Structure 1
């Protein structure tokens, strides 16, 4: 149950003496309760009560475990607060009583009600509970408060409405804050290994890339808005993240037209929001080679309607294992929120400066991984690195009208820059001779996005509609792009030659390629969606987007090119509930990607189009505390990555296209008191339409993580956790010869020991427990990314 909205009172508190038994008419009449607009879908009762507490703006008290195994059919429309709660509790043998206009108690219907408490008794009870860290005040600016445990029931990313995942005809996976902390995760790339069908791929500039269902995804979204339109940006550090959501399948329907972001799915990072529950938390992490991270997370009320959040952190590392100068990152994210009975507004700033070294890597001196250069050999210069900076301003506004409709508006303005300097290599020989090339690359862009939705709920007969009408607008401008190359000259030998100098000392700045055309793109679209609940067993999702985009650029001769296009994108899905705990679904999803590259005729290439068919099932297990899901999918893409000719005029040609299909299985949740498990399995097949082999595409992947924390007794607070990540073999390709080579499968185990007290926690973790030699999943002869050997990490938090 959420810590952000619902206040859980254990049985040891004398709650039963406050409100037990069926409330009579005089008690209910004594409290004046307003009418409010509600939009709560059918959910497990704990999640439904969380949504009720937020939408009704009341504090809800319930005995721990009272609602854990129950479901609610939801409530929609404008109703008195007590009538809405009564609908949520129908058929549950639970009843409620309002202690005052802002506090309601939910308890078993059969309990005997004592005399109504005096106001001073209520005040004393609230005061006694005020110091408990798991208790919270009513106002939480996040979607539904904080997640607890590994499983989440609800999300608003896939449909732009608060929806139960069981009612969404799509695969949606969520990495919660508790799972992030349990695994001591440091990056989004680490987090997505907990999701079936997703893999992180190491880039030679240090910035990770992501694949979902076999397609590169760019950098996804932050709070539902594009994180980087160019696919070259950086995710925020996890200290500022509340949860990570992965939406699988083409996502053009959401208006995400950034580079490579549509075909297989996208990653949405949900940031921490202002809250009125006071929070002052200091965190730290200590790792090898001087790896240090410190962070501060502050939140609390500024007035009855105003709250804030401020997250800041710094990271520093001396060096990598090979000797590249280490990671440095600064992060600062203040935000402020205002909320009353019908309106919620949040505004925030985000600043990220991240200097990350070139990842440790080797090169292949032959035709197999066995011929790789020694792991400890530094190939480039210790100063090789990438520098990324992001400045972002965001806002979010929600208003519920008395008619029951809700308007939501959100937007962002972002400026990003990226600078890369490092040595890249080509044509390695068995003797160690290799072509060394110095590269310096700089890029910057500015973009803003606006999203506006109007949501309403209405019924007729057995049909209940949740309709969303939206309009999105985005504009992107490339500020500058320069690329400099310089070949070192005579063949460089990785064994006998002197260490390569810094890139800046050898580059001839006149040899670079500059793009000063400042191209820009504009995208806007109308969005219409209808979620239809038909009786108790059927849910239908219909969505359509009319997307218009405009591209302004220059051809190879400097002539302006202006392209305007309109595209219709449909999506449809259906869910059938065999029982409240078992659902079957099927869906069709479409995607497309405008292309900014110029073809042989000097005009931009036509957009790439994709289509996905997906069937799946979702089970609620262990009395609603765990979920098992399975999905079968097939995605077709008419053309894949563009191929640029190696000779002038360097025009682009469409790639061959792909057909990807697979099976994904995920399990997450609590199987026993104190025991949480998350596991996923992927069986994927990727086929290029031209018959070439798909590189870096293992057929099978597996991830498992289990944790146990002693719930009571002398060892209370102690916890252990461990897991395994494994994948099967795949193939890589030698770019010089076109030959394929084998990439063997591998497995890695992690473990941790932790202790959690009331105000502080410590975790000692070990990565790659058996000290195996591990490498990236996709590489060529000139770049074989190496993962760390056995490492220890000590992390902790202190609440003050």
Structure 2
């Protein structure tokens, strides 16, 4: 705790200088962080009063004193400049109302360095800049003070692009790719590694390698954390060594929200959603949020039918001076046709079947159901210590019906196999931690000590196979394949049933310290000890359970060359448990990874934009398991790999009305056994720009457009016998929009030049076809 006395004369000069401020309504704690950076001053606060208060924000050119008056209006807090670079925020004297003038008394008030706390929607409203991240450290942190690579995708950018899914959102992030999966779920690649389904508000989205995502109407912003993320409890079965996706969901709000959203496409696809929020009752302690949406599509370009989905997410919040509680529920039901695709009878793209030829049956589809119940609680003991608890219960189920084709001949003959798959699981996770903010002089700490606990149960799995009546199926001459249900029903198919596993328990201890050393240095130190259960079978087929532990250390150091330019370096580590039995009859050792990264972050254009540059190297000791060529077919650790690259991102508002988002990456992957990497284009570039007319008779009209391009990549046949080339490509989108005070409308064209587009990785049995040129009308209405 530090005491400050009367203000020095230079403080008045700082308060009187005209500056540009762009701070939207948000939690006062994060609003003051933004003010400190935009005014180039240090903000100190007396007590925890800021933690439970929201600010109305400030936008425009004004003095720092006027900006603070607006930020603190109605909060019961006052401020005082104590020198040229420091301002103190503290409670008003008893009996005073509103925010007082800068000359209010500051007699020996105990103050502390302001640190970020829980807040949502920290976005430059209407722009593409998000300068606060929460997923990487479990607390809100200024990106300029975070020694790590974190990319934020705000809703303003998603609206401008008419994005329809999380897969559309991550196209804006350097080093991230997504593929269409054969089961209608996207597959994500971050820095060359396939990742799972990440997290929702810092908690696991699923416990298996796949799981559904909520629609964008329920999401505040999308975070992509780069590098291994075992430190924050990423426990999915995919090797998330390249990073993960964290979705920050919409929360109860005291600000009134009444919005209706819609979208209409040319293939009969339509979407309708509603977003409601505000205060409940007269006390002001209760708030709520209700988000709901439905989606329907008549057919795909190839004629696949049956797309429909529903989403419902109510939440309620309560808070007082020292406590905060949010309880949420979420229900997702989504029926998705198998993506349009072709096959390659000749093993190269030149031999692919025509785009108009539908493979399989029009009714092939996947069905996903997710139920999620969650809570978040926070109690502030005093100005230093805060207790937080967050938990969820999730039940997920999936069912897939599709035809699989293989064994192609040049004339189009193939082997057709129908598959009907059903699986379900359930899990719950709890995160408890204590946050302490303390320090004196030039050294300040934000300490997080936590305990994580989770239980998971993999349910039973049914996999039923069937064959068509004709012995040989020809892609071009045979009649359409029947429905999967007709050949996998009782008495027709071959059923493989696997019973579910008992509940398994994982838990971990977590310790993290964010250290500010003076005004220029910041350090981030974190350590996690994870204890997990490994359930498998011994050599005789008997079930066994082993308890394992793993230490995960992370460290980063950041130097502020100027208040708006940061240089950083970090080292992070990850691991992935392995249930496959080795030659000794024991599970193989976990895969271990280590990332070294260095980078720079620079605020530009009066702090309305940010430029980030990162160079990384990820080393993995072994990857996908191999199998011995002879019985008993024990597991063998696969070859490791080294991924390295450079990434550059720019997001923000360079000029009034002009918003810009750009990302470029140059990446290389080297497999340690000398084999050629697949699905790894060397370069990738994304650019999106939008401009809205600010004045005159055309005010409100806007145009936007962008390009998504990548270099060539390489694919491999399903039997591993040969590689084939996947050419580079570029996609151009554009739209025209009008925005009024309470409604907006956008007419957009995707794939403007009707290019033939492909994923970066596939094999001859499944070549996803991204629809050609398409038109989409979307809009919203506030009421």
TM-score (norm 1): 0.86
The Cα shift of 1:98 comes to 7.0
Partner of 1:585: 568
Structure 1 unaligned residues grouped into runs of 5+: 8-35, 73-79, 114-139
Equivalent position SS for 2:158? helix
- From 66, 87, 91, the equivalent of 2:85 is 91
CA distance in 2, matches of 1:496, 1:346: 59
Distance 1:187 1:583, change over 3 A: same
Partner residue, 1:215: 193
User: Do the aligned partners of residues 37 and 288 (structure 1) sit closer, same or farther apart at CA in structure 2, a change above 3 Å counting?
Assistant: closer
Alignment match of 2:364 (pick from 374, 380, 384): 384
- Contact in 2 for aligned 1:472/1:524 (Cα 8 Å): yes
The yes-or-no answer on 1:770 pairing with 2:746 is: no
Distance 1:238 1:60, change over 3 A: closer
How far residue 38 of structure 1 moved from its aligned partner, in angstroms, is 12
1:371 equivalenced with 2:351 (yes/no)? yes
Q: 2:62 aligns with which of 60, 66, 73?
A: 66
Match of 2:482 among 494, 497, 501: 501
How far off its partner does 1:798 sit? 0.7
Distance apart, 1:512 and its partner CA: 2.5
Select 1:143's aligned residue among 117, 120, 131: 120
Asked if the contact 1:42/1:164 (under 8 Å) is kept, the reply is: no
Q: Shift in Å at residue 624 of structure 1?
A: 0.7
Please give the secondary structure, in 2, of the residue aligned with 1:370: helix
Equivalent pair of 2:27/2:119 in contact (CA under 8 Å): no
Is 1:224 matched up with 2:245?
Answer: no
CA gap of 1:556–1:354, structure 2 versus 1, over 3 A, is: farther
Structure 1 residue 386: Cα displacement: 0.5
Cα pair distance change 1:549/1:506, threshold 3 Å: same
What is the correspondence of 1:317-356 to structure 2 with a 5 Å cutoff?
317-356=297-336
Moved over 6 A (4+): 36-39, 46-53, 67-72, 92-102, 645-648
Question: Which of 137, 144, 147 pairs up with 1:166?
Answer: 144
Does the aligned pair in 2 maintain the 1:683–1:701 contact within 8 Å? yes
In the TM superposition, what is the alpha-carbon distance from 1:223 to its structure 2 partner?
A: 0.5
Q: How does 1:301-450 map to 2 (within 5 A)?
A: 301-303=279-281, 304-450=284-430
Which residue number corresponds to residue 181 of structure 2? 203
In the TM superposition, what is the alpha-carbon distance from 1:435 to its structure 2 partner?
A: 1.3
How far apart in 2 are the matches of 1:484 and 1:648?
27
Name which of 489, 494, 498 aligns with 1:511: 494
**For 2:486 and 2:670, how far apart are their aligned partners in 1?**
44
Asked whether 1:783 is paired with 2:734, we answer no
Aligned to 2:292, the other structure's residue is in SS state: strand
C-alpha separation in 1, matches of 2:759 and 2:65: 43
- Distance in 2 between residues matched to 1:646 and 1:481, nearest whole Å: 28
CA contact (8 A) 1:746 1:774 kept: yes
State the 1:594 CA deviation.
Answer: 1.3
1:364-386 deviations in whole A, cap 9, x for unaligned?
12242111100010010011011
Q: 1:97 deviation in Å?
A: 11
Judge conservation of contact 1:141–1:275 (CA < 8 Å) in 2.
Answer: no
Match of 1:44 in 2: 37
Counterpart of 2:471? 490
Q: State the secondary structure of the residue aligned to 1:539.
A: strand
1:520-551 Cα deviation digits (max 9, x unpaired): 43221111111111111111111111111112
Match of 2:780 in 1: 797
Whole-Å Cα distance in 2 between the matches of residues 431 and 645 of structure 1? Answer: 35
> Which one of the candidate residues 208, 224, 227 is aligned to 1:246?
224
For 1:442 and 1:174, locate their aligned partners in 2 and report how far apart those are by CA, in whole Å: 35
CA distance in structure 1 between the partners assigned to 2:423 and 2:26 by the alignment: 43
- Contact kept, 8 Å, 2:23 with 2:59, in 1: the verdict is no
d(CA) in 1 for partners of 2:146, 2:323? 27
Q: For each residue in 1:239-276, what CA deviation from the matched residue of structure 2 results, as whole angstroms up to 9, or x when unmatched?
A: 10000000001011101111125311100001100011
Q: Map Cα deviations across residues 314-341 of structure 1 (whole Å, 9 max, x no partner).
A: 0000111001114211000000000112
Distance 1:37 1:736, change over 3 A: closer
- CA distance in 2 between partners of 1:190 and 1:103 (Å): 44
Contact preservation (8 Å) 1:733, 1:740: yes
Consecutive unaligned residues in structure 2, runs of 5 or more? 1-21, 69-74, 105-116
Count of matched residue pairs: 734
Structure 1 residues 556 and 203, CA gap change in structure 2 (3 angstroms): farther
Aligned equivalent of 2:99: 104
| Alignment deviations for residues 417-456 of structure 1 (CA, whole Å, 9 cap, x no partner) | 0111100111222211111111111111001110011111
Select the residue among 693, 700, 703 that pairs with 1:710: 693
State the secondary structure of the residue aligned to 2:170.
helix
Distance 2:30 2:674 in 1: 56
Per the normalisation by structure 2, the TM-score is 0.88
Q: 1:53 to 1:428 in 2, by over 3 A?
A: farther
Matched, 1:739 2:734: no
Within 5 Å, which residues of 2 pair with 1:556-567? Answer: 557-567=540-550
Hey, what does 1:570 align to over in structure 2?
553
1:59, CA displacement in angstroms? 4.4
8 Å contact from structure 2 (residues 23, 35) kept in 1: no
Deviations 1:692-737 (A, max 9, x none): 1111110100000000111222211111100000000011111236
Instruction: Please point out which of 53, 66, 90 is paired with 1:57.
Output: 53
Describe the superposition over 1:722-779 as per-residue Cα deviations: whole angstroms up to 9, x where unpaired: 0000000011111236111110000000001111111111011110011111111211
User: What SS does structure 2 have at the residue aligned with 1:498?
Assistant: coil
8 A contact 2:122–2:130 mirrored in 1: no
Q: Judging changes above 3 Å, is the alpha-carbon distance between structure 1 residues 61 and 234 closer, same or farther for their aligned structure 2 residues?
A: closer
Partner of 1:643: 626
Q: CA deviation at 1:5?
A: 2.9
Q: SS where residue 104 of structure 1 aligns?
A: coil
The residue aligned with 2:513 is: 530
1:41–1:527 distance in 2 versus 1, CA, 3 Å: farther
Q: CA deviation at 1:295?
A: 0.3
Residue of 147, 152, 170 corresponding to 1:192? 170
In the TM superposition, what is the alpha-carbon distance from 1:70 to its structure 2 partner?
Answer: 13
The alignment yields a C-alpha RMSD, in angstroms, of: 3.0
Q: 1:473 to 1:617 in 2, by over 3 A?
A: same
Provide the residue aligned with 2:278 in structure 1: 300
Deviates more, 1:50-59 or 1:298-307: 50-59
User: Match for residue 593 of structure 2?
Assistant: 610
Partner of 2:15: none
Query: Is residue 240 of structure 2 the alignment partner of residue 262 of structure 1?
Result: yes
Secondary structure at the counterpart of residue 396 of structure 2: strand
Q: Do the aligned partners of residues 50 and 417 (structure 1) sit closer, same or farther apart at CA in structure 2, a change above 3 Å counting?
A: farther
Displacement after TM superposition at 1:42 (Å): 9.2
Q: Per the alignment, do residues 143 and 95 of structure 1 end up closer, same or farther by CA in structure 2, a change over 3 Å counting?
A: closer
Tell me: CA distance 1:104–1:181, structure 2 relative to 1, closer, same or farther (3 Å): farther
Q: Please state whether the residue corresponding to 1:512 is helix, strand or coil.
A: strand
Q: Which residue of 2 aligns with 1:177?
A: 155
Match of 2:712 in 1: 729
Give, in whole Å, the separation in 2 of the partners of 1:459 and 1:398: 22
